[in-house]
Amino acid sequence: MSDLLNAFAIAGKAFFGFQAIFFALLAVGLNVHFGYTGLLNFGQIAFAMVGGFGIAISVSQWGLPFWVGVLVGILAAVVLALLLGLPTLRLRADYLAIVTIAMSEGLRLVFRSVSATPVTGGTRGLSAFNGDFIALAPWDTQHRYHILGTTWSGGELWVALVGWVLVTLFSLLVWQLMRSPWGRVVKAIREDEDAVRALGKNVYAYKMQALVLGGVIGAFGGMVYAVNTGSAIPDQYQSANTFLAYAALILGGAARVLGPVIGSMILLFILQFADTGLRAMISNGVIPSELLSSTDVAQIRFVLVGIGLMLLLVFRPQGIFGDRREVMLDAR
């Protein structure tokens, strides 16, 4: 029982922790791409990577101030979106999916390569670039705080606070955009871009704007992650993260302003709860160790995410918030 409570508390922390913010920002960006514009971007993690490394490289390699690093991260995301969009936005959805995932893997390989080591730190990555930011916290960052049975360091709390402010701001931005004529065009592109072209809209430009916007939001996710962990390592930015963000988005409901946010929180809660719960049950002997060892737990979580993703799409494609009628209209 106490194990269960403990698992609940730890999962509760995950509900609000920086990883939920990370996935929320990735998924808010994906919501702009996929939920509203219909762009099947499977390379979202690359935006997070250039965001995180934007700060890391600027601060620890070039010695620039932290906020310049943030600007560099945003700029890098914009450039990446443009580079990616120029050749691929004319492609069909499935081609775009392949190219974006290829791009994100390619970029990660470049970042971790020996040739890039002088800049990115190679496989080892970079660290010690978040000091300026943590120092801004209005409370003692060394102290540990106990909130509802969970323990947070002052730094963690600070990152989480700023992170949730970011999530709120971006959600408001998306909300405002999607109720404007701009949002109408973008949603129409999701439905049928040729029809939108025939009505005199420059579809390419709109897709590009959406790609840049969602990419920059994703880059902020990467920054939050890097700042919280204090390190930026290329191998942290695996494409599986993009899939998890998709799972969060679909869980919460695509094309809903709050869908990706709530989806990420719930997803992280479930993942952490399953993780802690399973480990506890294994160490208690509730689950016989021949069946499952604690080393398997990390994998089990992905199996669960996979199953969840499949079941959601088949039985509740609208997610938690979506409107089933609306989703069923989806002709694709």
Partner 1 sequence: MPAEPAAHGAHAARPDEPPAGSAPASAGTEKAAPRRLAQAALRDLPWEIGVAKPDPTVVVDGVTRTFGGLTAVSVDHLEIQRGGITGLIGPNGAGKTTLFNLLTGFDQPDTGTWSFDGRSLGKLSPHQVARLGVVRTFQLTKALSRLTVLQNMLLGAQGQRGESFLRALVPGTWRRQETENTEKAMELLQRFKLDAKSDDFAGILSGGQRKLLEMARALMSDPQVVMLDEPMAGVNPALTQSLLGHVKDLREEGMTVIFVEHDMDVVRDISDWVVVMAAGRIIAEGPPESISQNKAVVDAYLGAHHDAPLTVDDEDRVLAEAEASIAREGHPDQGVISSDRPHPRRTDR
Partner 2 sequence: MTHAPHRARRHGRRTTTGQLLAADRPAPGRSGRRRTGRRPLVLSLLLAAFAIALATLVPGVANAAGESVTGTLQTSRSGPIEGVQVTVETAAGAEVDSAETDADGRFAIDVPGPGEYTVTLNAGDLPDAVQLGTNGDTVTVTVGPGRTQPVLFGLVDGSANSGGGTIRAVQLLVDGLRFGLLIAISAVGLSLIFGTTGLVNFAHGELVTIGAIIAWYVNVRLGVPLIPAAIIAMVGGGVVGALNELGIWRPLRRRGTGLVAALVVSIGLSLVLRYGIQIVYGGSSNPYGDYQSQRAVSYGVFTMTNRSLASIIISIVVLLLVALMLQRTRIGKAMRAVSDNRDLAASSGIDVNRVILFVWVMGGALATLGGVLLGLSDQVQWDMGFRLLLLMFAGVTLGGLGTAYGALVGSVIVGVFVQMSTLVIPDDMKYVGGLFLLIVILVIRPQGILGSRARIG
Residue 89 touches which member of partner 1, partner 2, none, C-beta under 5-8 Å by kind: none
Q: Which of 9, 122, 150, 321 binds partner 2 (CB under 8 A)?
A: 122
In angstroms, the Cα distances linking 119 to 41, 116, 122 are 27, 6, 8
Q: Are 11 and 273 in contact (CB under 8 A)?
A: yes
Binding-residue total with partner 1 (CB under 8 A): 32
- Residue 326 touches partner 1, criterion: CB under 8 A: yes
| Residue with smaller CB distance to partner 1, 187 or 316 | 187
254-275 as b/e, with b when 16 or more CB fall inside 10 Å?
bbbbbbbbbbbbbbbbbbbbbb
| Binds 183: which of partner 1, partner 2, none (CB < 5-8 Å by kind) | partner 1
Window of 129-137, 140-148, 200-208, 275-283 that interacts with partner 2 by CB under 8 A: 275-283
Q: Which is nearer to partner 2, 74 or 243 (CB)?
A: 243
User: Which x/- pattern over 273-302 shows residues binding partner 1 (rule: CB under 8 A)?
Assistant: ------------------------------
Q: Given the complex with partner 1, which of 194 and 290 has the nearer CB atom?
A: 194
Residues 233-252 that bind partner 2 (CB under 8 A): 233, 235-236, 238, 240-241, 243-244, 246-247, 250
Q: How far apart are CA 267 and CA 271, in angstroms?
A: 6
Question: Cα separation of 195 and 68, whole Å?
Answer: 42
Binding part of the chain for partner 2, among 120-128, 143-151, 173-181, 213-221 by CB under 8 A, reads 120-128
Query: Whole-angstrom Cα distance, residue 153 to residue 216?
Result: 28
* 185 touches partner 1 (CB under 8 A): yes
The pair of three-digit structure tokens given for residue 301, joined into one six-digit string: 């979580």
Choose between 148 and 198: whose C-beta lies nearer to partner 2: 198
- What are 58's two structure tokens? 């600027």
Stretch in the footprint of partner 1 (CB under 8 A) among 39-47, 55-63, 194-202, 227-235: 194-202
Taking the C-alpha atoms of residue 13 and residue 25, their distance in angstroms, rounded to an integer, is 17
| C-beta closer to partner 2: residue 74 or 190 | 190
The reply to whether 90 sits near partner 2 by the rule CB under 8 A is: yes
Question: From the CB of 179, what's the least distance to partner 1, in Å?
Answer: 8
Nearer to partner 2, 88 or 209 (CB): 88
